[in-house]
Amino acid sequence: MIPIRFLHISDTHLGPNQEFIQHDANTFKAFSHFLNGIKSLPFKPEFIIHTGDVTANCYEEGYKFMASAIKDIHIPFYFTTGNHDRSEQIKHHLSSNNAEVLSSKLNTYRFSVGDHHFMTLDGRGPNEIDPHGVISLEQMDVLKKELETGKQVTLFIHYPALPLDSTWFDENMLLTNGTEFHQLLASHKEQVRGVFFGHIHRSSQTLVDGILYSSVGSMSAQFLLFPDQLKPMFESTGQGYFNIVTIDRGKVLIKNQSFANGQELYTLKTE
């Protein structure tokens, strides 16, 4: 099995115009800076996965900005649906790069890179439970059948499944059936390489019952997630984040990368 590398990004929160500001950051400029930077990366990732909240509030123009911004990148982009997204908007504006669609209504599909298999899950539930998410019974059944094939699979979803030791977040932001989802994965843990998600605006790695859960920071604004925190708090540092993920035989390596908006993504130092 040949190792592969992909970039994990999330929570771009694009607005209805390119001057849109959220949490003291211009979200379009932050994402544009990231795109300019990856053009000069010293390697080419197999793909980029965006784990939801493409826009800040289902803005039609935000999806158009995203589609226009990535058209010249020449790296496949895949998208999951966040709580600030609508699946029909993502399907309409953003290509799934010939992935195999698994639901006519939900943003659920699978794709492969060589011997590596990937699957997205759509956790966007009814407005009444937002910002919680839920995995539908239909998707649970599709996932169960996928795992029963015996193939190893990497999963992408917007929402965390299990508590993250932060009071306000754990009470308001998780999958409502995250425990059931985790139990299904744990019963097939030899088939699950990892679950990659967004929503928390923060990089984290958690290993539970042999299942790896990994999140990534936002492009523009980061949540604070202290244990006894009772309300949302943001860290205003001007930093954006993405993860470089390497999957090799028996190994998943995650490297968190930061960039300061308005500065070079990286500099190469030579002696």
How many angstroms separate the CA atoms of 138 and 118, rounded?
A: 18
How many angstroms separate the CA atoms of 148 and 99, rounded?
A: 20
Q: Using one digit for the tens of pLDDT, what is the confidence trace for 109-122?
A: 999 999 999 999 99
What is the predicted pLDDT for the residue at 270? 43
What is the predicted pLDDT for the residue at 122? 98
The average pLDDT across 244-264 equals 85
What is the predicted pLDDT for the residue at 100? 96
What is the predicted pLDDT for the residue at 265? 52
Detail the DSSP E strand segments found in 55-210: 77-79, 100-101, 109-113, 116-120, 153-156, 192-197, 204-208
Classify residue 28 as left (phi > 0), alpha (psi -120 to 50) or beta: alpha
- Residues of the chain with pLDDT > 70: what percent? 95
Side-chain half-sphere CA neighbours of 82 within 13 A: 28
CB contact at 8 A, 43 and 86 = no
Q: Using one digit for the tens of pLDDT, what is the confidence trace for 29-67?
A: 999 999 998 988 999 999 999 999 999 999 999 999 999
Q: Using one digit for the tens of pLDDT, what is the confidence trace for 135-148?
A: 999 999 999 999 99
The superfamily (CATH) of domain 4-260 is Metallo-dependent phosphatases (3.60.21.10)
Side-chain half-sphere CA neighbours of 190 within 13 A: 4
- Residue 269 above 60 pLDDT? no
What is the predicted pLDDT for the residue at 249? 84
Q: What strands, in cross-sheet order, belong to the sheet with 4-9? A: 77-79, 47-50, 4-9, 239-248, 251-260
Mean pLDDT of the chain: 93
- Residue 166 above 70 pLDDT? yes
The average pLDDT across 117-128 equals 97
Q: Using one digit for the tens of pLDDT, what is the confidence trace for 191-223?
A: 999 999 999 999 999 999 999 999 999 999 999
Nearest CA-CA partner of 94 in 146, 55, 138 = 55
What is the predicted pLDDT for the residue at 235? 85
Q: Using one digit for the tens of pLDDT, what is the confidence trace for 223-253?
A: 999 999 999 998 866 789 999 999 998 899 9
CB contact at 8 A, 161 and 175 = yes
What is the predicted pLDDT for the residue at 239? 86
3-class secondary structure per residue, 22-42: ECCEEHHHHHHHHHHHHCCCC
- Residue 96 above 50 pLDDT? yes
Tokens representing residue 204 in the block: 């984290």
